[in-house]
Amino acid sequence: MDLKRDLELMYNYQREIFLLDRIKSLLSWDMETYMPKNAIDFRAEQKAYLSSMIHKKQSSDELFETLERLTSYIDSENLSEDDKINIQKFYKDVSKSRKLPPEFVKELSMVKSMAFAAWQEARDKKDFNVFSPHLKKIVELKRKEAEYIGLPGHPYNGLFDDYEEGMTVEKLKPQFDYLKKEIKSLLDDIKKSDTYKNQEFILMKKDFPADKQILLAKHVMEKIGLGSDFSRMDFSEHPFSSHVGAEDVRITTNIREHPLFAFKSTIHESGHALYESFIPKKYLYTILYDSPSCGLHESQSRFWEIMIASNKDFWEHYFGHFDEYYDLNGKKDLWYKEVNMIEPSLIRIESDEIHYPLHVILRFELELGLIDGTINVDDLPELWNEKMKDLIGVVPDSDKDGILQDSHWGLGYFGYFPTYAIGSIYASQLHKALRKDFPDIDKDIQNGDFSRIREWLKEKIFVYGRTRTAEDIIKNVTGEGLNPKVYVDYLRNKYKEIYDL
């Protein structure tokens, strides 16, 4: 065996796959932002071709045989620790990829592109029937993908592992059941309070011109640490972030009825983009230039959006900007309460932080049924409304504000939704650890200085890339793995003060 040659070949494959994947990311970003509507057929063909190329490289016999040889020499002193981690993780990735037939990968890519376009049309027409035939095909293919992957336990595990490596339905469902029970209990307590019964939006009813919303969104994006020389902001129906390449992260936002939507969604997506921007460049072009899980990635967006930008310290600084732009009459305490006011929302990404995990659990439960065959696509609108009534307490008037509100299923992202709640839990644990390490961090936040927080995240999270699991990283920072009790305690302590519980 020529160790040096095999190692070089492995890294060459990773470089080619990395470049192709980033080209595909750029096409996807364009598809959701600037692409003309009639270009969808050709764009679907382009993306399918790239998916086929990536799969062909990642499942090649030459690469697999090389990785088998490298794996047999995993204890060699001639391999660095990063080499060893890379070999082990890439071997798992490639082994999984080889389970999917090339024609299946190409078909799935084509179907997803067409389904996303159908989802956009269905939203415009507020008609689920426009989207449902495409969703049926995606569900069929995703069930097949789960069979090909063949992980033990619930068939959903084969899809979930792509987003949250090592997590299973069997591990997560009890955590979510606990979270659902505790949050519903907290909501019951809040709704009994006089503060809740008498609450009303006053400042939020003012006029918030779109141009000023965007100015404030761009301002906070830069303050968090995203410079215009390596990031940009655009608009899309559903806000997202995209890592197009080295020194190139892109986020999108949208203007909606809620005056803070653009501001909060920009902070959320900036959390993602910040993570992507500060993974060490030594991992560039390799599989280690990534986060180990979507839950950890979501922890960064939720950390900035909720733990930082929804707390009182943050508004000690930012209220002045909003007061100047929107004439809020200096009512800072009232503004803080309205920012955190609990009110059932039809829309997940517009939801307050207490209802938010219930929105996620709703989607998780529906996905489980779709993948194990106990739920049919045709029944989704009715089931959606039933679960919305039970968990959130409101029911949408149209499919647009209900089953069609998220782009994920049109993109084939089955297994992603639960990572939002995992991210919220991780974010609360990180927030607790941050305040333990820096008891005076509130002063930084009050002054609009996020540099110490950013450096702490670099040291505790970003520096590892994908070299460690999400659970290991969180344990290293907090002393424990995923713990929803920390999240519940955070919510109870915060809203006990706001609602005089």
**What pLDDT, in 10s, does the model give residues 408-418?**
999 999 999 99
Cβ proximity of 425 and 471 under 8 Å: no
Q: Where are the beta strands (DSSP E) in 410-470?
A: none
pLDDT at 331: 95
* 258 band by pLDDT with thresholds 50, 70 and 90: confident
Nearest to 244 by CA among 222, 278, 276: 276
Task: Say which of 145, 269, 338, 471 is annotated catalytic.
Answer: 269
Read off the amino acid at residue 378: D
> How is the chain split into domains, by residue range?
3-152, 169-498
Q: What is the mean pLDDT of residues 231-251?
A: 95
Residues 6+ apart with CB under 8 A from 196: 190, 342, 499
DSSP conformational letter for 397: S
Would the pLDDT of 38 be above 90?
yes
Q: What is the mean pLDDT of residues 58-71?
A: 97
Q: Hey, is 197 helix, strand or coil?
A: helix
Nearest to 262 by CA among 227, 222, 311, 221: 221
Alpha helix locations (H) across 150-259? 157-163, 169-192, 194-197, 210-224
Specify the residue for token string 């002393």: 479
Supply 227's token pair: 């410079």
Give percent of the chain above pLDDT 90. 97
Would the pLDDT of 269 be above 70?
yes
* 257 band by pLDDT with thresholds 50, 70 and 90: confident
Across all residues in the chain, what is the average pLDDT? Answer: 96
Cβ proximity of 165 and 293 under 8 Å: yes
Cα 482-484-242 angle, rounded to 5 deg: 65
Q: What is the mean pLDDT of residues 189-215?
A: 94
Question: What SS3 string covers 44-98?
Answer: HHHHHHHHHHHHHHHCCHHHHHHHHHHHHCCCCCCCCHHHHHHHHHHHHHHHHHC
Which pairing describes strands 231-235 and 248-253: parallel, antiparallel, or unpaired? Answer: parallel
Would the pLDDT of 18 be above 70?
yes
Nearest to 406 by CA among 440, 432, 380, 368: 380
d(CA 238, CA 240): 6
d(CA 99, CA 472): 28
Q: What is the mean pLDDT of residues 178-207?
A: 95
What is the arrangement of strands in the sheet containing 241-245, beginning at the earlier edge strand? 231-235, 248-253, 241-245
Instruction: Show contacts of 131-138: CB within 8 Å, 24+ apart.
Output: 131/404, 131/410, 132/377, 132/378, 132/380, 134/410, 135/377, 135/380, 135/409, 135/410, 136/377, 137/111, 138/111, 138/112, 138/409, 138/410, 138/412, 138/414
- Domain 169-498 belongs to what topology? Neurolysin; domain 3 (1.10.1370)
Lowest mean pLDDT among 94-98, 257-261, 382-386: 257-261
pLDDT at 1: 66
d(CA 109, CA 138): 10
Nearest to 424 by CA among 256, 299, 334: 299
pLDDT at 309: 97
Read off the amino acid at residue 12: N
Catalytic status, residue 269: yes
